[in-house]
Structure 1
Amino acid sequence: MDTDELADYIEQNSNVKTVWMEKVIAHLNEVNDHRAPAKRWNKAIIQHQADRMYDDFINDVHDKIMMAANVKASDSAQTWANTIEQNEILDNLEESIADTEFGDDEDADDEE
């Protein structure tokens, strides 16, 4: 399962993406409010940044699953799904994201 397939699987079987995007967009809007008016991002840029952050998150999750569960990107989607279910990965991700608070993130201020 590659990262795109994992992202699709997560989106179809959990609310991880929805909660992630709500929190990240709220954070990016807060950071944006502190920018000088001439340097503020429009909604499209904020959405693009949120999408990028989510893609990075999915890549990290993909790598961690491969390392921790000893699965390969070339393994079947069913093998990945079984591993995800057996290790309650979606439940853990949902809990983790629900508890996540985005604070001062230097990267968000520096990217334009």
Structure 2
Amino acid sequence: MTINEFLEFLEKHLSNYNLFIEKSTEYQLEKNKKRTPKKRWDEKKINRVVNGMWKSSMQVAYDKVKSEVGVPRYDGYEKWTDFIEKNDLLEAINNSISELEFE
């Protein structure tokens, strides 16, 4: 599973994915208010940064699964999803997101 496939899987299966996007967007909007008017980011830039925050936050989980499962030639997607289910990774990520605070 590639990082993009992993992110897509999480976006479809995490109940708190939208909560992460909301929290990180609010955080970026607050930071944006503190910038001088000429240096403020537009909505496109904020969305790009929020997506980057999502990807970098989930990179750790991806690397963990990759080190455990590897990148199998056959049935790789199924092996990854089996590992994710057996180790309650979705629940752990959901819990982390609900406790997440940006500073």
* Structure 1 runs (4+) greater than 3 angstroms displaced: none
SS of 1:48's equivalent in the other structure is helix
Aligned partner (choices 68, 71, 76) of residue 69 of structure 2: 71
Q: TM-score, normalised by structure 2?
A: 0.89
- Deviations along 1:53-89, one digit per CA (max 9) or x if unpaired, are 112223222002223xx11133611111110001000
Find the counterpart in structure 1 of residue 5 from structure 2.
5
Count of matched residue pairs: 101
Counterparts of 2:19 and 2:6, CA distance in 1: 17
Find the counterpart in structure 1 of residue 94 from structure 2.
94
Find the counterpart in structure 2 of residue 15 from structure 1.
15
Identical pairs, percent: 26
SS of 2:69's equivalent in the other structure is coil
> Contact 1:2–1:74 at 8 Å: present in 2 too?
no
What is the letter of the counterpart of residue 43 of structure 2? K
Could you list the runs of 5+ residues in structure 1 that have no partner in the other structure?
104-112
Counterparts of 2:72 and 2:58, CA distance in 1: 17
Is 1:83 aligned to 2:97, yes or no? Answer: no
Q: TM-score, normalised by structure 1?
A: 0.83
